[in-house]
Structures are given as C-alpha cells and as structure tokens.
Amino acid sequence: MRSGPLGSLSPRTLLGVAAVLVALALPLVLPPFQVTLLTNILIFALVVTGLVLLTGIVGLTSFGHAAFMGVGAYTTALVSTRLGLSPWLGLPAGLLVTGTLAALLGAVTLRMQGHYLPLATIAWGISLFYVFGNTPALGGNTGLTDIPALELLGLRLTGPRPYAYLALLSVLLAAAGAQCLLSSRTGRAMRALRSGPLVAEAFGVPTFRLRVQVFVLSALLASWAGWLYAHNQRFLNPTPFGLQSGIEYLFMAVVGGAQYVWGGLLGTAVLTDLRERLRDTLPALLGQQGNFETVVFGILVIAVLHGARRGLWPVIERWLPSAGLRRLEHAGTLPTRAPVPRGEVLLDVRGAVKTFGGLRAVDDVSFTLHAGEILGLIGPNGAGKSTLFNLVTGVSPATAGQVLVAGHDVTRASPGAVHRLGVSRTFQHVRILPELSVLENAMMGGYARARAGIVRSVLHLERAEEAALQREALAQLERVGLQAHATELAGALPLGQQRLLEVARALVGDPALLLLDEPAAGLRHGEKRELAAVLRRLQAGGITILIVEHDMDLVMSVVDRLVVMSSGQRLAEGLPADIRRDPAVREAYLGVDLPGAGAA
C-alpha cells in the first residue's frame, strides 16, 4: 500500500530488488554444503511464512505445522513410489490432502480460546507424528526410501544448486503472495482478528470462516515445504515432523518478527544457520553429545523477547527508507447504498428487554429514529445505554422485544448482518489497529463493500477494489479533517484524532445509520468542538446518527431529539429544550442542572 511516488520505484522497492538479485547469486557462489544449507533454510521458510500469517497476524498459535509438512511429504512420496506417478503430481495431491485435513481440524479446534487452542495443536501434531511412525504403508519408523528426484525439461534436480533455485522460486512466490494478501481487505481483516473479533465483526468480517481459511492456507504452505523436502532428501522418516520441529518453526517466526513476512525469512535463516554451527561446536566444547542447541534457542528467544519484543526485523526496518503514499489508479468502483428518504423510520426499537440472570439491564424500551435525525441516548451510569447500543448493533441479542433497521428484524442478527443493512459504529473505548497507517485503518471500514477474498488477494487480482477503497477512505479522512495524517501510524495519533479516525472508518462503510458510542470521552474542549462540527457536517450530508454520550454540552448542541434512560427503562423522550426542563430527568442526574436548564 505505501510506496514511492507514482511511476517510480521507491528506495524500499530498489532494496527488495537488490535482495532478490543477491539471493539469485548465492547458489552460484556458495560452496555445495552451504548451498544445501540454503535449500533447507528456504524449505523451512515456507512453513514459517504460514506461521507468520496464522500466529503473527491472526494471533492463533500452532505447534503442529511440522505435522502438516509431514502430510505433504508422505503424500508425494506415496504418489511417486507406490503409485508410480510423476513427483510433480505429488504437489497438488499433497495440497489436497493437507487442505482437507486442515479444514477438518480447523473447524473443530479454532473455536477454542486461550491456551486450549495451542494445547489442541500439540495434541493433533503428536497424533499425526505417531501415525507417520506406526503406519506400515508409510514405512513406519524406518521410513520410506527411493523417493524419485524431480525432473524439469529433462534435467534431474539432484544437484544442490538446481534444487536451491526451485526452493528459492517457491519462497519468492509464497512471500510475494503473502505480502499481497496482507495489503488487501482480507489482510486488514486478519490483523483485526488479532485484537479480538469485535471490530472485525462490526464491519462484516466472517471471523470464524476467515480463521479457518488462514489456518488452511498456512497448512498448505507447510505441505508445499514437505513436497520440496521429500524430493530433496529422497528419504523420509517421522523425525523431522515431530513436536520439536513445530516448536522450532515458532522460534524462527518469533525471533525474526512474527508479524512480518520478511521477519519470518530472517528468523529462519538465523536459527537454521545457528543450529548447524552449534551442532558442530557445542559437543566439542562440552565434551559430550546432546541436543544442546535447543537450550541455546530457548535462551535466544528469551533474549529477543526482552530486547526486541517484536523480533529482529522491526529493528532492521527502522534503518530502511520511509515510504510515502502511493495512490492506486485502477478504475475500480464500490457499491453505494440508495439514500433513505428523509423522515422515514430507519431504526425502530420495540419493547426491547435484555436480562442477565435476574438483572434487567434493559427493561421494555421503545423509540424510533428517523432518517436525517441526530438522536441522543443519555442517562446516568448504569442506565443501560451501552447494553441497548449492543442490542441495536447485534453484539448482544435481545431477550425480548424487537429491533428493526430499515424494516428488517435484526433482533438476533449478527453484527456483520446488521452492518450490511447500513449500520456502522464506533466504540466506547477506541479500537484501532495501531501498527497500521491511518489510511489502512479507514479502509478497514469498507470491508463489506468489496468482494475479493484470500485467493484473489494472494494472486494480486484485487487492485481495482483496493483503489476504490483507498479513494473512499481518503475522502472520508478529508471529511473529518485527517487527510494530512493518512500515512502516519494510527497508534501515534492523539486520542481526539483516533476517535475521529473511528468515525472516518465507520463512514467508509457507506452507512445509512451511524452509531457513536461516547465519542467525546477523554477529549479536550477544543477537540469536542471539532467533533460537534464534524457531526453537523455529517448530518448535512445525509447521515443519520444515534449518539450515546455523557457530555451534556456536546449532546445538547448537536441532537434533534433525546431519549433518556434510567435503571434500564426509558425515562423521557423529546426535544432538548423539553428534556432540560423535565423534573424526572434532572432528578435522575442527582439534581445537577443540565446545560441550559432554567427554573422548572
């Protein structure tokens, strides 16, 4: 997304080209043993790239990906030795078997939360390891031999240098596809999953399905690595596909930088090379044999987590040239929503009830919101405002009653389904992706307006949609006064601008109804005035707004009508002037005069 000026190559791009040229030269200049080590690094890097996507980006820890590598390796071995088919057919066969198995395992295990998921990956990783070692057709613990070499255009890829180029091509394709994926709508949704599903679901992301898709993709990369490994070694036994190997792959991702594709490659190179050196030097230094390199790996991970918690790659990246904004020029368009006629009922809450055990947090609340209005929902702490807000947005289903959006019953609809009906929201506590730019955060709001999924994104076929999303996001950032900050990291913005960024992100979704959950919380006086001006501009532009807010000065200055809640019930409804004079409302606020309130 971010690169140099249009029509020129940025310094980062030039450095990337230089790195590729160096990599292409290495198999020619290194001695044979080093070329073999390079090939192993490249094969392992495929597995680690999958873990970067799954663990570093999505936040799902897996210790079992070495087993997926084994599935790919054993499948191609059976295809070529038992069936006598071309080893090249072993790659699609391995991908098919691994993808099917990963989809089944993902459907079962990815619903688990916390430490249960890593434990589940350990369980099925160990299970597959013992399947490899105890299945006679797979050679048992003795293994499979006489796996044929790959042939390309009549050339047998048995020497270390030709095979290194095949492995290098595989890694370059996988890394390029991963980078394309991460710069797409799907990649932004994947990053949103890491901080929890709430933001992703609010903008229409099918969170569980996306988790399974990324899990399968990461397993396919491991299977690809297994195919390369089998025809490079031409012998298989279960040892390389056990739990220890799975842990080492995670070490590689963490040390290099688990949230960066190039970090995964760096960590693989560092640890694989270090392991080979330690295997030779440590037994000589200690005077006895043993897997002492594993101890060193553990110490290294601890040191990295203390000194560079995000891995080695971010440390290197600080020295790379900064990138500007590249405007995508593809002629893409996004679907737009037909405007709702002004005055038509857009939101209709009918007798909403929400209970938590014996507590009635929302008790028979009804109100309507008409297109073109700004409606304020106010009340003292504990009044039930946020709970009612969650009923409207689909975060929490109502126990009784109905919630209708544009005539559609959304009482028990998911947040994504509510969003697709034209509802966008902000959050009481700011929820942005701090490691992404302001522009990328805003583009997240348009997820449901685009269609490109994982496959199109990996193949870089989503550029037209990305260009349209970028234009829309820039327009909405300008609308809230943040266009000048588009290339800055969102986490570096002050709180007031982060809240405006949330508004811009919601507007990219082309909402008919915008729900703001305490947008003025923590803002200074000047920032509140700026927010009020933005809300008036939005209303003038045809946006209908429901605002939950404690700041009475802000609310009274921008809303058309107010609904007041107290103890879960609707206490009053009316114009701001009427609400100011309502004795019950003033009593609910503990006798504190509301702004503009005169004598009762």
pLDDT, tens only, 235-263: 999 999 999 999 999 989 999 999 999 99
Instruction: Give the integer Cα–Cα distance in Å for 208 and 224.
Output: 25
Instruction: Give the integer Cα–Cα distance in Å for 511 and 524.
Output: 27
Residues in the chain: 600
Instruction: Give the integer Cα–Cα distance in Å for 96 and 223.
Output: 9
Give pLDDT, residue 158.
Answer: 84
pLDDT, tens only, 382-435: 888 889 989 999 999 999 999 999 999 999 999 999 999 999 999 988 999 998
Give pLDDT, residue 6.
Answer: 37
pLDDT(1) > 50: no
CA atoms within 13 A on the CB side of 201: 16
Instruction: Give the integer Cα–Cα distance in Å for 15 and 351.
Output: 62
Give pLDDT, residue 4.
Answer: 40
Tokens of 122: 């350990």
Mean pLDDT calculated for residue range 266-276? 90
Query: How sure is the predictor about 232, in pLDDT bands with cuts at 50, 70 and 90?
Result: very high
DSSP string, 358-391: TEEEEEEEEEEEETT-EEEEE-STTSSHHHHHHH
Instruction: Give the integer Cα–Cα distance in Å for 365 and 399.
Output: 12
Instruction: Give the integer Cα–Cα distance in Å for 137 and 81.
Output: 11
Give pLDDT, residue 594.
Answer: 61
Tokens of 209: 């399905």
> Lowest-pLDDT range, 209-223, 251-265, 317-331, 478-492?
317-331
Identify the structural domains of the chain with CATH numbers, from first to last: 1-30 (no CATH), 37-242 (no CATH), 373-397+409-588 (3.40.50.300)
Nearest to 546 by CA among 344, 341, 408, 347: 347
Sign of CA dihedral 281, 283, 287, 292: positive
- Most confident of the ranges 86-100, 370-384, 528-542: 86-100
- Phi, psi of 75, rounded to the nearest 5 degrees: -65, -45
Instruction: Give the integer Cα–Cα distance in Å for 437 and 443.
Output: 10
What Rg value do the Cα atoms of the chain yield, rounded? 28
- Phi, psi of 562, rounded to the nearest 5 degrees: -130, 145
Instruction: Give the integer Cα–Cα distance in Å for 289 and 460.
Output: 49
Nearest to 349 by CA among 314, 308, 387: 387
In the numeric block, the tokens 């994104």 are attached to 457
Q: Return the axis-axis angle of helices 87-109 and 116-134, rounded to nearest 10°.
A: 140
Give pLDDT, residue 253.
Answer: 94
pLDDT, tens only, 11-33: 777 778 888 899 899 999 999 99
Beta strand residue intervals within 90-171, DSSP E: 151-152, 155-156
Instruction: Give the integer Cα–Cα distance in Å for 466 and 187.
Output: 12
List the end-to-end C-alpha distance of the chain, in Å, as a whole number.
58
Instruction: Give the integer Cα–Cα distance in Å for 244 and 283.
Output: 20
